[in-house]
Every structure is written in structure tokens, then in C-alpha cells.
């Protein structure tokens, strides 16, 4: 049973059917990618734990996989686990690593785990004001809860002076924000380190970079992710290998500390790291796969996610077979996504896209008759793969011919120029 209706869940379900499993899927939207491969799709709100439980009781799944974070914080994993279902996802308690950013920061501090970032949380504007006035570094403002990656404001990008940042913080509190974090601004390139975890057993997957900003050349508002690249086990060319190794040890320590505190972690997880001059710093933990990062790694895995997670849950540590390939994902989104999205109708020529060598993953769209209705979120992910960037990028050429409607996508994701720019930026940063 696969819970959630985005591109990541379409990728999870595709991976599951690759080892001849029957899929029951649950999502609030009519996701054609899920519907097409499911034995049965249930159009049910994935955050409604009673409704999800009643579907589970009907279909009696051998394994439950949960894609997004909201069902975790709403107790969907808890209720299914308590009723004896085999769930490869964390309890809401363990998912606190993601659902409360201040919990993660304090947890790392109290366990002396490296990679933490100076961070202070505030429930009162005057206290925040005092703190910010005393800072001698640039900062970011973060809401404490789940914001779908869209709530973080970075000095130098989204506001410039302390005063501007403070006036934004003041408005956020006035508009009902309960808790706001002020964090040191990190400078570097980001990478996502995903893993499969069962208590103290952890299997790391190849690192991925998610292009988070809405605009070309990494400008504009933060989004849930506009697309992503992976070079499989070779690692990202612009991230030092030693940083990935340190990141693994940070994640391992967090998992061990969770275990020792009586809240062991089960399920996919990922660390969002910034590779800085002072080594990798942990921006956040997500208690799930990344979206789009899951699309990259699940396509690189020869083993299905079902086989890998069942083996792990039976106490084995399976060695995964990972393809030696590069892959690039680009998300098609509504115009204005990241600030003020304007959903449109889309029509897709799947045959044309497949002939171009693109793999299609449907996300937050609703199939209605012969068209797709966009929502305010991401619509369709397209994956191209190969042995070199030169072979991969042309596969996206002409995709507009096969997708009718109003939409936007970043044309720079995975290009040689974007990778060169990141290489140069990191080389300058690390030698400065």
C-alpha cells in the first residue's frame, strides 16, 4: 500500500511493481501515474488516519510505504503500526526530526553531534529582535513546522538588511506564526543524502542535488524542488567526497541517538546538507524520501523498494545493486509556483515523451476526462538518464511539443553550464 499522490509516490509505486507486487494506492488526487499501475486506487485524503486505516483493513497490505511528511505528523503511521500493519515509515515521534526544526537542533546539541548550525527559536518578536541585533553574521528565518520547503527566507536572497529581516519576522508573528527560528546563513552547495533505516541498520543511497529555487541559475523563492541530478555512486562532482562521508557519520550518529533514546527510526530518511568551507552542515532531516530526490535514487536501484525494506525489517542489511548512471529530473510546475501559482489544464503526449527517452512521473495533478488539472503544487516530473550529461540533456529537447497548457520548468537543471558553475563556486569557496 502506497500512501501519497505526488511524483515521489509515483516513483515508489513504480519501484514496488518492478518486483511483481500488487499496489493499492491512496491519495487525495486522481494521480494517473498511480492509478495506471495500482490494483486499486483509493481517492482518500492521505492525512485522514481513520480513513487510511479503514482502507488498510480492507486490503490487508503486506507492507505500507508512506511518501509525504504530513501523514506522519498526522498519526497515519502510528495508527497503522498500532493495528499491527508492517509499516516502513517512522512513528510521529521519530518523525519529529523533521516536523520540528528546533527539536533537531536541540537533539544534535544534547548528543554532541557534528554538523549542527547556530540556531535559536523564538515565540516572541521582541526576544527575536534583541537576538538579531546582536548577530555578527548573516541569518535565515525559518518557520518551525512543516512548510513544504517554501517557508525559509535567506538574507542576501529574500531580504538584505537586518532591519528588513526584522520587519518580515514582525509581520510573520502578527499574522499568527507561533515559533520562528533564526539560523546562521550557510554558504555552499547543497546535497541530499537519502538512506533506508531500520533501528541501527542504515543503507545509504547515492547523493542527489535538488535544485530548490524557482528560477534559473538558482534564483527566486525556495520551492519543494524544481528538479534534481545524481551521478550515482560517483557522487556529485562539486561536493567533496570527504563531505559525503562526514555527512554519513552525522546521520549514523543521529540514528544511534534516536535508538538510545527509545525512539528508534524506521523508514526512508534524508539529510539535507550544505557543503561549506567548514565541512558539511545539516540544514534539516526529512523523515521520508525527498521529492524529487526519490525519483533519482529509486530509478538507480535495481532492487525494488519493497524487497529492500522487507529485508531490512527482517534484520538483514541487504547490499543494493545500484546502476552506474547519471540521471536528471525536471519538474513541470504551474506558472508562478513558489510564490503565486496559477494552475492550468495540461494535455500530455506520453508516447512522444517516452520515445524521446523520458520517464514520466505524475505529481499533484488531477486527471479529469482527457486532460490533467494542475493544482498549486508540482505537476509532472520527467527523468532522463544516460552515461553523460551530453547524452542526457538533449532528451528534454522538444518536450514542449508533447505538453500542451500553461506551465513552467527550469531549463538549466542538469546542464553542463549549471554543473560547471557549481564546480567553480565550490572551488573558489573551498580555496578562499
Residues in contact with ligand GLY by CB under 6 A are 149, 210, 224-225, 286, 290-291, 293
Contacts of 167 (CB under 8 A, 6+ apart): none
291 contact choice in ligand AMP, ligand GLY, none (CB below 5 to 8 Å, kind-dependent): ligand GLY
Segment lying near ligand AMP (by CB under 6 A), choices 169-177, 181-189, 288-296, 320-328: 181-189
Residue tagged 544511534 (cell numbers) = 256
User: What DSSP designation does 175 have?
Assistant: T
Count CA atoms within 13 Å of residue 208 on its CB side: 32
- Contact pick of 13, 140, 297, 333 for ligand AMP (by CB under 6 A): 140
Q: How far apart are CA 231 and CA 244, in angstroms?
A: 13
Q: How far is the CB of 349 from ligand AMP (least distance, A)?
A: 33
For ligand AMP, the closer of residues 32 and 224 by Cβ is 224
For the bound state, the minimum distance from the C-beta of residue 30 to ligand AMP, rounded and expressed in Å, comes to: 29
Q: If binding is defined by CB under 6 A, does position 154 make contact with ligand AMP?
A: yes
DSSP string for residues in 295-352: HHHHHHBSS-HHHHHHHHHTT--PPPPB---EEEEEEEB-BTTTTS-B--EEEE-HHH
| Residues sharing a CB contact under 8 Å with residue 340, sequence separation 6 or more, in sequence order | none
* Number of separate helices (H) and strands (E) present in the chain: 15, 24
Residue 41: exposed, middle, or buried by beta-carbon count in 10 A (0-12, 13-18, 19+)?
Answer: buried
Q: Which is nearer to ligand AMP, 144 or 299 (CB)?
A: 144
Q: 56 vs 146, which CB is nearer to ligand GLY? A: 146
* Cβ-contact 410, 226 below 8 angstroms: yes
CA distance 14 to 156: 40
CA nearest neighbour of 307 among 78, 62, 76, 84: 62
Least Cα distance to 140 among 124, 117, 115 occurs for 117
Please report how close the Cβ of residue 8 comes to ligand GLY at its closest, in angstroms: 7
Q: Choose from ligand AMP, ligand GLY, none: what does 189 bind? Cβ within 5-8 Å by kind.
A: none
From 222, 230, 275, 364, residue interacting with ligand AMP (rule: CB under 6 A):
222
State in angstroms the smallest separation of the CB of 329 from ligand AMP.
Answer: 16
Do 380 and 361 touch, CB atoms closer than 8 A?
yes
**Residue 117's binding partner out of ligand AMP, ligand GLY, none, with CB under 5 to 8 Å set by partner kind:** ligand AMP
Q: Give 281 or 395: the residue with its C-beta nearer to ligand AMP.
A: 281
CB nearer to ligand AMP: pick between 108 and 305: 108
The yes or no reply on residue 183 touching ligand AMP (CB under 6 A) is: yes
Tell which residue, 105, 308, 338, 300, has the closest CA to residue 208: 300
23 binds, among ligand AMP, ligand GLY, none (CB under 5 to 8 A by kind): none
Q: What minimum distance in Å lies between the beta carbon of 225 and ligand AMP?
A: 9
Rounded distance between C-alpha atoms, residue 95 and residue 175, angstroms:
27
Q: Is the separation of the CB atoms in 370 and 305 below 8 Å?
A: no
Q: Are 15 and 304 in contact (CB under 8 A)?
A: yes
Q: Contact region for ligand AMP (CB under 6 A) — 33-41, 178-186, 335-343, 386-394?
A: 178-186
Residue 70, interface with ligand AMP (CB under 6 A)?
no
Residues 273 to 292 in contact with ligand AMP, rule: CB under 6 A: 283-284
Smallest separation, CB 161 to ligand AMP (Å): 17
Q: Which residue of 152, 255, 306, 313 would you call a contact of ligand AMP, by CB under 6 A?
A: 152
* Residue 117 within binding range of ligand AMP, rule CB under 6 A: yes
Residue 173 CB, nearest approach to ligand AMP (Å): 19
- In the complex, the residues that contact ligand AMP under the rule CB under 6 A are 117, 140, 142, 149, 152, 154, 183-186, 190, 212, 222, 272, 283-284
Amino acid at each position: 500500500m502506497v500512501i501519497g499522490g505526488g511524483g515521489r509516490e509515483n516513483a515508489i509505486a513504480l519501484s514496488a511493481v518492478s518486483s511483481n507486487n500488487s499496489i493499492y494506492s491512496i491519495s487525495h488526487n486522481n494521480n494517473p501515474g498511480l492509478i495506471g499501475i495500482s490494483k486499486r486506487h483509493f481517492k482518500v485524503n492521505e492525512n485522514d488516519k481513520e480513513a487510511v486505516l479503514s482502507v488498510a483493513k480492507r486490503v490487508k497490505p503486506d507492507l505500507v510505504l508512506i511518501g509525504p511528511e504530513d501523514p506522519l505528523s498526522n498519526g497515519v503511521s502510528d495508527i497503522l503500526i498500532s493495528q499491527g500493519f508492517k509499516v516502513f515509515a517512522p512513528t510521529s515521534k521519530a518523525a519529529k526530526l523533521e516536523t520540528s526544526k528546533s527539536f533537531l537542533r536541540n537533539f544534535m546539541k544534547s548528543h554532541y553531534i557534528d554538523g549542527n548550525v547556530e540556531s535559536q527559536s523564538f515565540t516572541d518578536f521582541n526576544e527575536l529582535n534583541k537576538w538579531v541585533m546582536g548577530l555578527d553574521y548573516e541569518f535565515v528565518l525559518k518557520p518551525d513546522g512543516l512548510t513544504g520547503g517554501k517557508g525559509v527566507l535567506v538574507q542576501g536572497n529574500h531580504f538584505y538588511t537586518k532591519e528588513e529581516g526584522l520587519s518580515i519576522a514582525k509581520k510573520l508573528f502578527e499574522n499568527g506564526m507561533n515559533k520562528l527560528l533564526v539560523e546562521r546563513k550557510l554558504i555552499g552547495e547543497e546535497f541530499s543524502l537519502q538512506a533506508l533505516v531500520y533501528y541501527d541498520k542504515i543503507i545509504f543511497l547515492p547523493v542527489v542535488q535538488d535544485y530548490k529555487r524557482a528560477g534559473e541559475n538558482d534564483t527566486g523563492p525556495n520551492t519543494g524542488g524544481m528538479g534534481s541530478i545524481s551521478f550515482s555512486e560517483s557522487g556529485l562532482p562539486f561536493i567533496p567526497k570527504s563531505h559525503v562521508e562526514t555527512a554519513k557519520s552525522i546521520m549514523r550518529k543521529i540514528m544511534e541517538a534516536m535508538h538510545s533514546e527509545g525512539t528508534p527510526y524506521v523508514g526512508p530518511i534524508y539529510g539535507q546538507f550544505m557543503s561549506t568551507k567548514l565541512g558539511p552542515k545539516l540544514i534539516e532531516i526529512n523523515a521520508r524520501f525527498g521529492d524529487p530526490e526519490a525519483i533519482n535514487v529509486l530509478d538507480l536501484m535495481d532492487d525494488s523498494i519493497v524487497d529492500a525494506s522487507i529485508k531490512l525489517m527482517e534484520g538483514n542489511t541487504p547490499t543494493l545493486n545500484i546502476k552506474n548512471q547519471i540521471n536528471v529530473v525536471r519538474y513541470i510546475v504551474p506558472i508562478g509556483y513558489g510564490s503565486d501559482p496559477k494552475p492550468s489544464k495540461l494535455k500530455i503526449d506520453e508516447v512522444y515523451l517516452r520515445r524521446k527517452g523520458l520517464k514520466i512521473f505524475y505529481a499533484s495533478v488531477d486527471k479529469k476526462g482527457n486532460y490533467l488539472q494542475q493544482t498549486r503544487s508540482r505537476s509532472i516530473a520527467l527523468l532522463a538518464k544516460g552515461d553523460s550529461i551530453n547524452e542526457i540533456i538533449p532528451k528534454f529537447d522538444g518536450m514542449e511539443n508533447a505538453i500542451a497548457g500553461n506551465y513552467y520548468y527550469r531549463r538549466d537543471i542538469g546542464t553542463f553550464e549549471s554543473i560547471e558553475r557549481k564546480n567553480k563556486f565550490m572551488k573558489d569557496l573551498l580555496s578562499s
